[in-house]
């Protein structure tokens, strides 16, 4: 089945800096890669996603890039703000008839004012 | 409703008791999922419902866990004879299309289960 590795597990940045979270996946047939943000005491919230037919997608301060050849995708947050502090999860949907996304283990992002 | 609703938000139960957790998905969403999140851990898939198809139960950790979805809407996750290792946040999510492929999930806020 699909295997998703996410790094780093913890990321600490100063307000205004950029943050990058990276994920690798194992199933070359995966074609949908969402990112979720989970704030304390809440469920994860979809913040951006990318499909395998594009290499990059942007939405204001966040962007996701996908390298299908290398089987990795990354989340980029620019001009970080304290409210960006949360746990971020990547996911990939594999093939073989299973439509259950596999999640990474999460990255705890801390933005210091 | 506007989002995925889960109840109760918190549940404390004694070891050996049965518990039922409820999920109300977004109206019209055909796919519904249950995940478990232990303290500081990632998301562990439990079970998936899609329309009228047989559920994918491949993630259920033991036969003490079961779930049903009535009328293609509300779902109940039941844990029998609870153990301390069942303590976790149980998250429900729904999506509008087939299996989450190409469709992001909308998660509820979860039920925090504590077994004492």
**Among candidates B59, B99, B108 on the partner chain, residue whose Cβ is nearest the Cβ of A99:** B99
Which residues of chain A does B42 touch, with a Cβ-Cβ cutoff of 8 Å?
Answer: 89, 103-106
Q: pLDDT tens across A33-90, in order?
A: 999 999 998 999 999 999 888 899 999 999 999 999 999 999 999 999 999 999 999 9
Within 8 A of B41 by CB-CB distance, chain A residues are 105-106
Distance, CA of A100 to CA of A52 (rounded, Å): 17
Residue A89 tokens read as 């999860």
Closest partner residue to A46 (CB to CB) among B43, B104, B110 is B104
Nearest to B4 by CA among B74, B58, B65, B70: B74
The CA distances from residue B35 to A17, A80, B48, B73, in Å, are: 33, 29, 9, 17
Structure confidence by residue, pLDDT tens digits, A15-29: 999 999 999 999 888
- pLDDT-based confidence at residue B1 (cuts at 50, 70, 90): low
């Amino acid at each position: 089945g699909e295997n998703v590795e996410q790094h780093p597990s913890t990321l600490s940045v100063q307000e205004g800096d950029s943050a990058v979270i990276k994920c690798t996946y194992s199933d070359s047939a995966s074609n949908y890669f969402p990112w979720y943000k989970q704030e304390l005491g809440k469920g994860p919230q979809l913040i951006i996603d990318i499909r395998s037919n594009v290499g990059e997608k942007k939405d204001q301060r966040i962007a996701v890039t996908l390298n299908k050849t290398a089987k990795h995708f990354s989340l980029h947050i620019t001009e970080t703000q304290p409210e960006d502090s949360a746990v971020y999860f990547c996911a990939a949907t594999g093939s073989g008839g299973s439509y259950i996304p596999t999640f990474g283990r999460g990255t705890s992002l801390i933005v210091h004012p | 409703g506007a989002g995925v609703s889960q109840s109760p938000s918190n549940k404390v139960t004694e070891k050996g008791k049965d518990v039922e957790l409820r999920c109300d998905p977004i109206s019209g969403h055909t796919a519904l999922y249950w995940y478990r999140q232990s303290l500081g851990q990632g998301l562990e898939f439990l079970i998936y419902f899609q329309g009228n198809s047989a559920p994918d139960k491949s993630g259920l950790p033991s036969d003490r866990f079961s779930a049903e979805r009535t009328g293609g809407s509300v779902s109940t996750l039941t844990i029998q004879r609870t153990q301390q290792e069942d303590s976790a946040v149980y998250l429900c999510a729904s999506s509008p299309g087939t299996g989450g492929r190409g469709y992001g999930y909308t998660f509820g806020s979860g039920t925090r289960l504590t077994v004492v």
